């Protein structure tokens, strides 16, 4: 668990657009350990997808990596040329996308698409590649692999298609799998099947997974560690128990509180006021200050540094500074955390 497989440091990415420069990622740092699942959560536009695009070397043409490093096997992914990335992309780091319909070619059989991925990175015969493709179809839990090999994407259901996408991603035995909202477009029943599949494959082949989602239920299900992203920065990270049971950043509080509470239907849902800042004009200081009722004066002047809460738990908020006034978590969130602990204890016993 302690071997770092990927380390991203102080990543900054900007996009040049007609209207000006958008600072999409403004200094994000995180690490991925071997065999773990790191979930990155955040709203749309917080920079989570851009981060993964940097790691895959598929940043759009107008995107520029201003600074930062992403060290994988002693190589800096931020500085690799297009040619050098060919050896990494797919082979070492693979990715599955949100929409299984648009990530498959509708005019090719699924078998051919999986075989293509196998042939691209291995020097083997077509026959051997076909065998490997059928093996992969079987591995992702699709029955009758030989029959399915000949089918087209439109003949498969959404859940099956996502399994095929996973099979393609696993074709070259990658070390890191990046899953960008892989279950958002699926039904809950299919979602839990896909999550079970991803976890099973992780156990079998020892993948390290970066899992991007905005569904906190899914996070609780898959993640070993969680990084919360807001306005191009990672504002809090820790083990999933750290984040769910003792969140420290006001944004994390808001995020957890906006999940509907089953017990109290009468109470209005908590919603974080306002909307995320326009990163063309990033605010001075803490980007969340404008939406936070706990903002201090300094939040509007200077961006907070990262404070260490425990060996595993870090957060970037001035509330953790020793000079800051004592700000307890909102009462209803605290109550809910206690209810969650009780619920978890009850589950553990049965």
Partner 1 sequence: MAERDVILEVKNLKQYFRMNRHFTVKAVDDISFKVYRGETFGIVGESGSGKSTTGRSVIKLYEPTAGHVIFEGKEITGKIAEETRKMLRTRLQMIFQDPMASLNPRKTVMNIIAQGLDIHKLYKTQEERENRVYEMLETVGLSREHAHRYPHEFSGGQRQRIGIARALIMSPSFVIADEAISALDVSIQAQIVNILKKLQKDRDLTYIFIAHDLSMVRYISDRIAVMHQGKIVEMGSSDAIYKSPVHPYTKALLSAVPHPNPGVERYRKRIYYDPATVNYNEGRYHTIKGDHVVLATDGEYENWMK
C-alpha of 245 from chain center: 20
Distance CA 196, CA 194 (A): 5
99 scored as a contact of partner 1 (CB under 8 A):
no
Distance CA 107, CA 314 (A): 48
350 scored as a contact of partner 1 (CB under 8 A):
yes
187 scored as a contact of partner 1 (CB under 8 A):
yes
Q: In terms of CB distance, is 113 or 221 closer to partner 1?
A: 221
Strands 208-213 and 37-41: parallel
Distance CA 219, CA 225 (A): 9
Among positions 232, 254, 277, 285, the unique one binding partner 1 when judged by CB under 8 A: 254
215 scored as a contact of partner 1 (CB under 8 A):
yes
220 scored as a contact of partner 1 (CB under 8 A):
yes
Distance CA 153, CA 307 (A): 48
The label of the residue with tokens 């497989």 reads 5
Give me 116's structure tokens: 């293509």
CB of 112 to partner 1, least distance (A): 27
Sign of the dihedral defined by the CA atoms of residues 211, 213, 218, 224, in that order: positive
344 scored as a contact of partner 1 (CB under 8 A):
yes
Contact 232, 58 (CB under 8 A): no
CB of 68 to partner 1, least distance (A): 26
CB of 29 to partner 1, least distance (A): 23
Q: In terms of CB distance, is 118 or 195 closer to partner 1?
A: 195
Give me 237's structure tokens: 């990270």
Q: In terms of CB distance, is 135 or 187 closer to partner 1?
A: 187
1 scored as a contact of partner 1 (CB under 8 A):
no
Q: In terms of CB distance, is 45 or 90 closer to partner 1?
A: 45
- Binding-site size for partner 1 (CB under 8 A) equals 47
First to last CA, the chain: 28
The label of the residue with tokens 């128990």 reads 241
DSSP secondary structure string, 47-108? SHHHHHHHHHT---TTEEEEEEEEEETTEETTT--HHHHHTTBTTTEEEE-S-TTTTS-TTS
Given the rule CB under 8 A, which of 117-125, 220-228, 280-288, 292-300 is the region that contacts partner 1? 220-228
Among positions 275, 310, 312, 334, the unique one binding partner 1 when judged by CB under 8 A: 275
CB of 297 to partner 1, least distance (A): 25
290 scored as a contact of partner 1 (CB under 8 A):
no
Give the footprint of partner 1 on this chain (CB under 8 A): 43-44, 158, 187-192, 195-196, 214-221, 223, 240-241, 244-245, 254-256, 258-262, 265, 268-272, 275, 340-341, 343-345, 347-348, 350
């Amino acid at each position: 668990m302690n071997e770092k497989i990927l380390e991203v440091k102080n990543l900054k990415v900007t996009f040049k657009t007609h209207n000006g420069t958008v600072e999409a990622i403004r200094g994000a740092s995180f690490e991925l350990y071997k065999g773990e699942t790191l979930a990155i959560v955040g709203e749309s536009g917080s920079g989570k997808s851009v981060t993964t695009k940097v790691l895959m070397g598929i940043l759009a043409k107008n995107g520029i990596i201003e600074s930062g490093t992403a060290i994988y096997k002693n190589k800096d992914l931020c500085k690799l040329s297009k040619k050098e990335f060919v050896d990494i992309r797919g082979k070492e780091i693979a990715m599955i996308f949100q929409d299984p319909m648009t990530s498959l070619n509708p005019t090719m059989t699924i078998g051919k698409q999986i075989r293509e991925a196998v042939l691209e990175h291995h020097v083997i015969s077509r026959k051997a590649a076909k065998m490997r493709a059928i093996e992969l179809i079987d591995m992702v839990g699709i029955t009758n692999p030989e029959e399915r090999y000949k089918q087209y994407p439109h003949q498969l259901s959404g859940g099956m298609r996502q399994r095929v996408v996973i099979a393609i991603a696993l074709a070259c035995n990658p070390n890191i799998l990046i899953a960008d909202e892989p279950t958002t477009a699926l039904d809950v029943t299919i979602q839990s099947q896909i999550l079970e599949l991803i976890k099973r494959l992780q156990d079998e082949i020892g993948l390290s997974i970066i899992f991007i989602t905005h569904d906190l239920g899914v996070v609780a299900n898959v993640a070993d560690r969680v990084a919360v992203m807001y306005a191009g920065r990672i504002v809090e990270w820790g083990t999933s128990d750290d984040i769910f049971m003792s969140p420290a950043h006001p944004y994390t509080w808001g995020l957890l509180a906006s999940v509907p509470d089953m017990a109290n239907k009468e109470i209005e849902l908590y919603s974080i006021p306002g909307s995320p800042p326009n990163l063309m004009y990033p605010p001075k200081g803490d980007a969340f200050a404008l939406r936070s009722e706990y903002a201090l004066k300094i939040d509007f002047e200077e961006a907070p540094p990262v404070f260490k809460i425990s060996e595993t738990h870090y957060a970037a908020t001035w509330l953790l500074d020793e000079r800051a006034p004592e700000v307890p978590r909102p009462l209803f969130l605290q109550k809910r955390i206690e209810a969650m602990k009780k619920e978890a204890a009850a589950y553990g016993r049965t």
